[in-house]
Amino acid sequence: MIKNQWYAILPSKAVKKNKMLGVKRLNLDLALFRNTKNELGCVVDQCTHRGAELSKGKIKGDCIRCPFHGLQFDKNGKCMFIPANGKASTVDISRYNVKHYLVKESNGIIYLWYGDEENATGELPFFYDHVDDSYVYSEIEDHWNSHYSRSIENQLDVVHVPIVHYNTIGRGNKTLINGPKVEFENNVLTTSANNEVDEGQTPKPAAECIIKETYLSFMFPNMWMNHISHKVKVIIYFAPVDEENTVLYIRFYCKITNSRIINRIIAFFGKFANRIIERQDKRVVITQKPKASALKSGEKLLSGDGPIIKYRRVSDELKNSDKS
């Protein structure tokens, strides 16, 4: 994992009022909940007393209550009450505080700050300049038995399109890979397929390729967009579960017509298209070995793998800069 980043981990709707949610993300067992003000709390899902899962407990006012002996914690993990000590107790109970994580919400997505809390600054990663309230969207999710690096790289891979998606988005047998051109600016990697039918021509180098109107963008650490057109986009956030699992949240954004109702219908059908395509990808990506990708590996890459190489380079730089 790259440290000191905001990771999109869940849709906001996954954490309901008055209901605890236990979930694994970024190799951490987490308990999420909302207090009476609808503010999110996120703590380690392990009680400091004797280790029970807090997510199996209940919400009591602005606190969560452990299901075992009833210790209560607020949204910052601060221990507020120990029933066994009694209401009149004045004993310092701060040693029972449970570790919490910073969480924020934007655009219906919950983000978790993975790193040192004092470094948590900046905007939550999202394609703010590309989608706004004029769009409607549908969302599906799917669990992939793959490391998040592999699921992300798959979405930057222009070489697989005519092979894996030969009967869907890769129709037309455009197996010859020009470039592709790869740009990286302001934490965003952008590329665009320039594939052609192989008629014996030599593939063009990346320098002779362009970023087309339909392009792919990836924003570190885990947000991707397929800019299909000015009116249709697909956004995926890849929530890392652990070293071998990722949950993909796939949104179909649409503002094709002036009617939000019709756009909603289109977005509704768009999610089925997304499902078919992601299942074609998933079938292959979950088989990749080793589970996580790496800049230095035994893989023998092609020139068309430029976006993947760039993704690995930047990931490495971010991981190393964090160590310094």
Q: Between 156 and 195, how does the x/- string for binding to Fe ion read (CB under 5 A)?
A: ----------------------------------------
Residue nearer to Fe ion on the CB measure, 169 or 309: 169
Residue nearest to Fe ion (CB): 281
DSSP 204-236: PPGGG----SSEEEEETTTEEEEE-SSSEEEEE
Q: Among Fe ion, ligand FES, none, what binds residue 235 when CB lies within 5 to 8 Å by partner kind?
A: none
Asked if residues 278 and 155 have their Cβ atoms less than 8 Å apart, the reply is: no
- Return phi, psi of residue 55, to 5°: -65, -15
Decide whether 74 or 281 has the Cβ nearer to Fe ion: 281
Sheet holding 28-34, edge to edge: 21-25, 28-34, 40-44
Q: Smallest distance from the beta carbon of 114 to Fe ion, in angstroms? A: 27
d(CA 294, CA 105): 31
Minimum distance, C-beta of residue 52 to ligand FES, in the bound complex (Å): 4
- Residue closer to ligand FES, measured from CB, 51 or 298: 51
- Total residues in contact with Fe ion, by rule CB under 5 A: 1
* Choice between 60 and 283, CB closer to Fe ion: 283
Q: Which of 74, 139, 153, 281 binds Fe ion (CB under 5 A)?
A: 281
Instruction: Name the minimum Å distance from CB 154 to Fe ion.
Output: 6
Smaller CB distance to ligand FES: residue 68 or 166?
68
Helix axes 306-323, 148-155, angle to 10 degrees: 140
| Residue pair 36/61 in contact by the 8 Å Cβ criterion | yes
281 touches, from ligand FES, Fe ion, none (C-beta below 5 to 8 Å by class): Fe ion
Helices (H), the chain: 148-155, 161-164, 260-285, 306-323
Point out which span in 71-79, 178-186, 219-227, 274-282 binds Fe ion (CB under 5 A): 274-282
Task: Tell me how many degrees the CA angle 241-242-243 measures, rounded to the nearest 5.
Answer: 140
Which residue, 44 or 169, has its beta carbon nearer to Fe ion?
169
Please name the residue that has the structure tokens 């792919």. Answer: 216
Minimum CB separation of residue 103 from ligand FES in Å reads 22
How near is the Cβ of 157 to Fe ion at its closest, in Å? 7
Q: What residue ranges bind ligand FES (CB under 6 A)? A: 47, 49-52, 66, 68-71
Answer positive or negative: Cα dihedral of 116, 15, 124, 189: positive
**Is the CB of 19 or the CB of 50 nearer to ligand FES?**
50
Tokens of 239: 């929530």
| CB neighbour burial string for 106-116, b if at least 16 within 10 angstroms, e if fewer | ebebbbbbbbe
Asked if residue 153 binds Fe ion (CB under 5 A), the reply is no
Choose the binding region for Fe ion from 18-26, 206-214, 235-243, 281-289 (rule: CB under 5 A): 281-289
Report, in Å, the least distance between residue 271 CB and ligand FES: 40
Signed CA dihedral, 19, 25, 30, 36: sign only:
negative
Q: How far is the CB of 12 from Fe ion (least distance, A)?
A: 27
Q: Compare residues 54 and 189 and give the one whose CB is closer to ligand FES.
A: 54
Closest approach of Cβ 285 to Fe ion, in Å? 8
Please tell me the distance from the alpha carbon of residue 154 to that of residue 140, in angstroms, as a whole number. Answer: 18
Where do contacts with Fe ion occur on this chain (CB under 5 A)?
281
